[in-house]
């Protein structure tokens, strides 16, 4: 949480450094060379058993419970920020289970479902097409909102991020053929319900806001002040979907893949014996065989628009230049895009071979580096560390890089992958697909969005085109704008990297 709050503080004050903000009891300096080996940094969960120094025992705030709601569906969640060097429990070297992706969901500005989005990607559509019929005198804030917004999520009684998350979760559950009720859930977001938070601020401090047309605040706007933007999202997801215990992970743009990593470890680490393998918890095992991983971001607000612009990472807000061109020499920053993404994981015995058409989650990894509160290290040690783990002993057909389209990040990221692949058994050069060029940057949801796109590409045996590539950067990889066919069985590596050095990755295989 410290790094997350510091990142937001840096957005509002980009001239400040970590020293200006001041030390934190949870901030530990890790030398750059040792950063990758240190592993993910996790804030200890606060519970009623935790007693801060010289303070009375703390209790978790529980949202109001409806009387009609059964006890097993009442909200149970905890928020975890990746900030210090305490590793989560690791599975055994030879796990008894494999993890399959039973279903997925996706909602983006290009489609209300996963397959609708992917169909538009295959035709070469991008968010840049939304600028064609806009007036020449459109103001930058409106341009960003029109280009990156998901229309059906804008008119909701709570917050757009809640609508995006619910739609993605329901699509994933429907694809898997099960109900989301009581499913253990792992949520990863960078911002959370910031629309509701700013609405609450307008209510309590009206003089601080200019008189503009705004949507009416949600009726429970004060609840977001008590719970925070992430807790507010969890609360509404519990109310709408009646989920099981929910763990919320915050790791900047790596949040969603960090949540995926913890979901996979949860299913592998404490798995019951096959004889007691049930989807829902029972008094004997208390361990389900499914887990829902969920992410959504809706941050098209003046605070973030102008903060990213001041940081120099947002594309120029003009009709001609507001477009994202990752891996191209004309890149000048990213485009903000809303999105909701979800995958439903299923644990299966290791001896059960996946059926043709099934997608397996082979591996996940997370790491962090303490180089800078915003910028990654030029050598990207955390990314190299997890790519070594994910590339080892397997052949990668497609790499889905983070590739935000900023000047320094894209070449350094591809160079890290190329260096890692030289020390593996890889005999062919993997293809590259950067979906942010079409969908924009969905911040904390970007990693899971890319993973769903990877699943769709594998199932359709087609890598979508990248029409923004007119002058690809120099790279050992073959960067082409044309679509490309894939093998019937393909392996994809997906990566996400965020502020404060948060990094995460995953590998899937379509059987």
Per-residue pLDDT of the chain (511 residues; tens, 9 = 90+): 333 333 333 333 333 333 333 333 333 333 333 333 344 434 333 333 333 444 444 343 344 444 444 444 444 556 655 543 334 445 444 478 999 999 999 999 999 999 999 999 999 999 999 999 899 999 999 999 999 999 888 888 889 999 999 999 999 999 999 999 999 999 999 999 998 888 877 777 777 666 665 667 778 888 888 999 999 999 999 999 999 999 999 999 999 999 999 999 999 985 443 434 445 444 444 567 899 999 999 999 988 999 999 999 999 999 999 999 999 999 999 999 999 999 999 999 999 999 999 999 999 999 999 888 888 889 999 999 999 999 998 999 999 999 999 999 999 999 999 999 998 988 899 999 999 999 999 999 999 999 999 999 999 999 999 999 999 999 999 999 999 999 999 999 999 999 889 999 999 999 9
d(CA 41, CA 267): 21
d(CA 476, CA 443): 27
Enclosing H/E stretch for 383:
helix 381-391
Q: Are 250 and 4 in contact (CB under 8 A)?
A: yes
Q: Are 225 and 197 in contact (CB under 8 A)?
A: yes
Per-residue pLDDT at 52:
40
Q: Are 238 and 220 in contact (CB under 8 A)?
A: no
d(CA 390, CA 430): 14
Residue carrying structure tokens 């397996």: 360
Per-residue pLDDT at 80:
58
Furthest-apart CA atoms within the chain: distance in Å: 66
d(CA 240, CA 235): 9
Sheet holding 503-510, edge to edge: 77-81, 246-250, 185-188, 290-297, 339-349, 97-107, 359-367, 503-510, 491-497, 398-400, 431-432
d(CA 161, CA 356): 35
Per-residue pLDDT at 77:
57
All domains in the chain, ordered by first residue: 2-62+83-272+286-510 (3.40.47.10)
Per-residue pLDDT at 128:
95
d(CA 77, CA 80): 10
d(CA 71, CA 79): 21
């Amino acid at each position: 949480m410290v790094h997350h709050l510091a990142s937001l503080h840096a957005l509002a004050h980009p001239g400040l450094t970590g020293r200006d903000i001041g030390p934190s009891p949870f901030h530990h300096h890790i030398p750059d060379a040792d950063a990758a080996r240190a592993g993910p940094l996790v804030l200890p969960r606060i519970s009623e058993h935790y007693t801060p120094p010289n303070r009375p025992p703390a209790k978790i705030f529980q949202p109001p419970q409806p009387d009609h709601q059964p006890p097993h569906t009442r909200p149970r969640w905890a928020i975890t920020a990746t900030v210090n060097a305490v590793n989560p429990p690791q599975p055994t070297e030879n796990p008894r289970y494999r993890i399959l992706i039973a279903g997925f969901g996706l909602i983006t500005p290009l489609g209300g479902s996963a397959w609708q989005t992917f169909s538009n990607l295959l035709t070469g559509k991008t968010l840049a097409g939304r600028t064609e019929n806009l007036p020449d005198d459109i103001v930058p804030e409106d341009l960003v909102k029109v280009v990156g917004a998901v229309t059906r999520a804008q008119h909701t009684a709570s917050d757009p991020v809640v609508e995006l998350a619910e739609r993605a979760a329901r699509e994933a559950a429907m694809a898997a053929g099960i109900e989301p009720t009581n499913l253990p859930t792992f949520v990863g977001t960078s911002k959370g319900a910031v629309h509701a938070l700013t609405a609450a601020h307008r209510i309590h401090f009206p003089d601080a806001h200019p008189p503009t047309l705004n949507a009416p605040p949600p009726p429970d706007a004060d609840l977001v002040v008590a719970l925070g933007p992430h807790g507010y999202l969890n609360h509404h997801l519990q109310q709408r979907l009646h989920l099981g215990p929910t763990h919320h992970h915050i790791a900047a743009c790596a949040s969603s893949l960090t949540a995926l990593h913890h979901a996979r470890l949860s299913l592998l680490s404490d798995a019951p014996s096959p004889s007691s393998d049930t989807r829902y918890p029972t008094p004997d095992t208390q361990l389900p065989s499914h887990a829902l991983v969920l992410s959504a971001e809706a941050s098209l607000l003046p605070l973030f628009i102008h903060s990213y612009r001041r940081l120099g990472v947002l594309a120029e807000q003009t009709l001609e230049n507001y477009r994202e061109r990752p891996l191209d020499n004309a890149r000048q920053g990213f485009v903000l895009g809303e999105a909701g993404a979800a995958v439903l994981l299923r644990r299966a015995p290791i001896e059960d071979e996946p059926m043709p058409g099934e997608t397996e989650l082979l591996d996940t990894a997370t790491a962090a580096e303490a180089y800078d509160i915003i910028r990654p290290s030029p050598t990207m040690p955390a990314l190299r560390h997890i790519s070594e783990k994910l590339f080892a002993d397997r052949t990668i057909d497609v790499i889905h890089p983070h590739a935000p389209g900023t000047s320094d990040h894209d070449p350094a990221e591809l160079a890290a992958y190329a260096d890692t692949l030289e020390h593996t058994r890889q005999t062919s050069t993997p293809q590259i697909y950067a979906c942010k060029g079409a969908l924009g940057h969905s911040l904390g949801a970007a990693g899971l969005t890319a993973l769903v796109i990877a699943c769709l590409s594998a199932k359709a045996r087609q890598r979508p085109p990248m029409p923004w590539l007119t002058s690809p950067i120099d790279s050992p990889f073959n960067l082409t704008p044309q679509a490309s066919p894939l093998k019937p069985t393909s392996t994809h590596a997906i990566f996400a990297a965020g502020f404060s050095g948060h990094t995460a990755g995953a590998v899937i295989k379509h059987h």
